[in-house]
Amino acid sequence: MVLTLNNGPEPIFLWLVQVAGYIILAKYEEKHLEKEFAKQFRKYEATVPFMFPIKCPSKIPEIPFTLLIAVIIAFVFLIFPFSLLRLH
């Protein structure tokens, strides 16, 4: 994705759409898991972050927080050139 940013920000937009799709899918799965494993799933859900390995503040709902993290990541990819993000 980052390698194609020279052509414009379209890959970032598509990635954000993909994140939104994963959020919808995850919420669908959570609904069914809660039906099947009610008490165990609530305990698991309270200890594990939603999508990104970042604990959501209690004052912010998890879906807007997840979207905010995705937008921040997208912003970093748009602002910093790929050569600065390489680890080697």
List pLDDT tens digits, range 18-75.
Answer: 999 999 999 999 999 999 999 999 999 888 888 888 888 888 898 899 999 988 988 8
Q: What is the CA radius of gyration of the chain?
A: 16
d(CA 34, CA 52): 20
Q: Given this model, what pLDDT does residue 22 score?
A: 94
| pLDDT exceeds 60 at position 86 | no
Q: Is the pTM of this model over 0.75?
A: no
